[in-house]
Amino acid sequence: MSTESSAPPFEAVDAVAPTNVRWRIFLLMLMLIAINYVDRASISVAMPVISKEFDIGLETQGFILSAFFITYALMQVPGGMLADRFKPRAVIAAATLGWGFFQAIAAVSFSAWVLVLTRLGLGASEAPIYPAGGKLNAIWMASNERARGATLLDGGAPLGAALGSAIIAGLIAEFDSWRVSFLVAGVGTMLCGLFAWWYIRDNPADHPSVNKAEAEFIAKAHAHEDSLAPASSGGGLGAYFRYRSVWCMCLGWMFFNAVFYGLLTWMPNYLAAVHGLDIKQLGGSLFAMFFSGFVGELVGGQIGDRWRARGGTPNLVFRTLFGVAALISTASVLSVAYVHDSLAVVMLLSSTLFFLRWCGMYWAIPGILASRARSGFLGGCMNFSGNIAGVTVPVIVGFIVQRTGSYFLALMFFALAGLALLVCSTLIDYSRKLPV
């Protein structure tokens, strides 16, 4: 029988309205991911001060900046497998405590290489948060709520990017010390990890604030979803890679991150070098760009779930929304190469990020393709692919700009990545779970 369906054919009918604990949990995840990006960006903000204190050159600075992504990428799949085995609550809390510890202990670094070790630890400990969050989405959300759950989960990335520089720079200015700013940020992160352990549960029925109506709503949604799933073939985890949808999910997320990480790492230099923005203008422009991405992410999730609730089939909804996002963001970033007015450029880049971040709904895909027991693994595979772009794209763009003396081909590179995102997103079958 066909498994492509619209929203689950049931509604909560309990006389008592269902609680909304699942949405509070994902607002907490939004906060944790935003903190994740604040902590990972702190080194970039503090680097001018650190480089003077440790007397380090550009080559060493580059290695310190990239060290995070090495362990972050390598630990994605193991992090997802940990979430499958030990459940997301423990993994999310442990990850947050772990990266808060490494952020705080970096404050006592006495050399550049000790700082590198703390960045490697930060990357490894941050790695499980996204795969565990994707698994949490599969556990807590009905199928027609997962787009919003995914965009709340991933919305912390542009929000953290928008706020991170201002927060860390403000702490450095307030305490006149990068060390104190790292310590404050790290301790604050660890406190958030303790709160996550206290509030999150792995089973909705176990949460003390979930009433019977909400627990039954989630249970019925999952039962309906499971009734449409094909029988398992009993294959191992490697069997997922027999399917085109898994490869396209991983490649699509990589091309998405090629654009996002490229803008995150190189647009400040581009706006300063090509359009002459000073530090004050640059700060305001970057905040506008990345906050637009945050708003766009939430808007995309709302559209996706509302369309599903009104009967839109998964393939129609996701292929259309991802297609629109890829096409408009590609057209916007392509236009930047031909526009010379700085305000127009910032508006185009804001448009790029607004629509690009609709692809935060990719975090619903692991729960669509895999069972709840294995969605953490697929989420880890997806984010491993995405962070290949995090490691390589800044280097590729730097090479292009250095060789050509222009950002034109770099912007063409982003546009090509956007078109590749369109192709991959269109080739995924969102209508059924894989029989693995």
Span 340-375, pLDDT tens digits: 999 999 999 999 999 999 999 999 999 899 888 888
Per-residue pLDDT, 15: 61
> CA nearest 392: which of 17, 92, 66?
66
CATH number for the domain formed by residue range(s) 21-202+237-426: 1.20.1250.20
- Retrieve residue 260's tokens: 């996002």
pLDDT confidence band for 279 (50 / 70 / 90): low
> CA nearest 48: which of 31, 34, 61, 35?
61
Domain ranges of the chain: 21-202+237-426
Which residues have C-beta within 8 Å of that of residue 27, sequence separation ≥ 6?
152
Query: Does the structure show a pLDDT above 60 at 7?
Result: no
pLDDT confidence band for 6 (50 / 70 / 90): very low
Query: Does the structure show a pLDDT above 50 at 421?
Result: yes
CA 228/CA 12 separation, integer angstroms = 20
Span 138-181, pLDDT tens digits: 999 998 899 999 999 999 989 988 887 778 878 888 888 889 99
Query: Does the structure show a pLDDT above 90 at 68?
Result: no
Which residues have C-beta within 8 Å of that of residue 337, sequence separation ≥ 6?
407, 408, 411, 412
Signed CA dihedral, 91, 221, 323, 306: sign only: negative
Which of 17-31, 349-363, 372-386, 409-423 is predicted least confidently? Answer: 372-386
- Retrieve residue 148's tokens: 């919003």
CA 360/CA 209 separation, integer angstroms = 28
